[in-house]
Amino acid sequence: MYIKCWGSRGSISVSGREYAEFGGDTTCLEVIAKTGEVIIIDAGTGIRRLGKSLVRRKASEYFMLLTHTHWDHILGISFFAPLLYKENRLVIQDRKFDGLSTRQVFENVMRPPFFPIKLTDFDADLYFDPSLNQKFTIGSIEVEAIPTSHSEDSMGYKFTEEGKSFVFLTDNELGYDHPQSQGAEAYVNFARGADILFHDAEYTQEEYKDKIGWGHSSVSDVLDLAVKAGVGQLGLIHLNQDRTDAQMKEMVRQSCRILENRARKTGAPPISCFGVPSDLELSL
């Protein structure tokens, strides 16, 4: 599968020279199956650039999954250019978010006084598909979901194709059990042996002391998870809105050092660790 990050910032989009390297757009990933299906995960502001790319590539059918519906994960939907064209078909995961269906969530984003255009004003064919839940297949990719320790109905996903897997756990607080948390052990099991894990690393260990219960992880808890799960590569994502490029690089440098030390002690292969920038492309 092919993976591209179109936005890795958490909580709110940012701009400015100090964020240029990791980017300012909020969560949006694109996964393409070897059989060609395009899967979009989250509709943060990064989906604006993805939409333009899909129009340029003349791709006309896409699947959309949501981790949850906090603003940073849905606010780009109104600027998703493929919605303007009637030849495009968007198959959207249909599920409940705190009692609202996915359609109702998008209708609420696109209505006065918040936005001048309604969801029904767009020409693309939208199909809300209830089968895209828990465990399902899109083309050659098997998808599995797990509730995250964050908010009601927040989900993480595992994408598996030809024995290779990519796990995406954003907005997941490993150090605190929110009501639907599955417990730290369950997240280890979910990520076990993943070739690539992207995990919420919103806080440094120091910052986290004042943010317990805010729904995001400290990077040290993420490193623990990656080691216990024995993942191949670890991408730190849901970048804090105040984290500059220089600070992000320092977080990655320290994380790599910790992982290398651990690998030296256990004899296990070292996990390669990086901060996930906008525009990162990976293949499995």
Positions touching Zn ion (CB under 5 A) are 10, 70, 72, 171
Closest CB 266 distance from Zn ion, rounded Å = 32
Q: Which is nearer to Zn ion, 241 or 254 (CB)?
A: 241
Q: Tell the residue number behind the tokens 């296990």, with chain if given.
A: 268
Q: Which is nearer to Zn ion, 34 or 96 (CB)?
A: 96
Closest CB 196 distance from Zn ion, rounded Å = 20
41 sits in which H/E element: strand 38-41
Q: Which is nearer to Zn ion, 161 or 202 (CB)?
A: 202
Q: Which is nearer to Zn ion, 4 or 73 (CB)?
A: 73
Type of residue numbered 232: G
52 sits in which H/E element: helix 47-56
Phi, psi angle pair for 69, to nearest 5°: -120, 25
Closest CB 213 distance from Zn ion, rounded Å = 13
Closest CB 238 distance from Zn ion, rounded Å = 6
Q: Is 176 exposed, middle or buried (0-12, 13-18, 19+ CB in 10 A)?
A: middle
Q: Is 262 exposed, middle or buried (0-12, 13-18, 19+ CB in 10 A)?
A: middle
In whole angstroms, what is the distance from residue 262 CA to residue 10 CA?
A: 28
Closest CB 13 distance from Zn ion, rounded Å = 11
Tokens of 2: 């092919």
Closest CB 103 distance from Zn ion, rounded Å = 20
Torsion of CA 60, 65, 66, 67, to 10 degrees: -140
In whole angstroms, what is the distance from residue 249 CA to residue 186 CA?
A: 29
Q: Which is nearer to Zn ion, 165 or 240 (CB)?
A: 240
Q: Which is nearer to Zn ion, 70 or 95 (CB)?
A: 70
Residue nearest to Zn ion (CB): 70
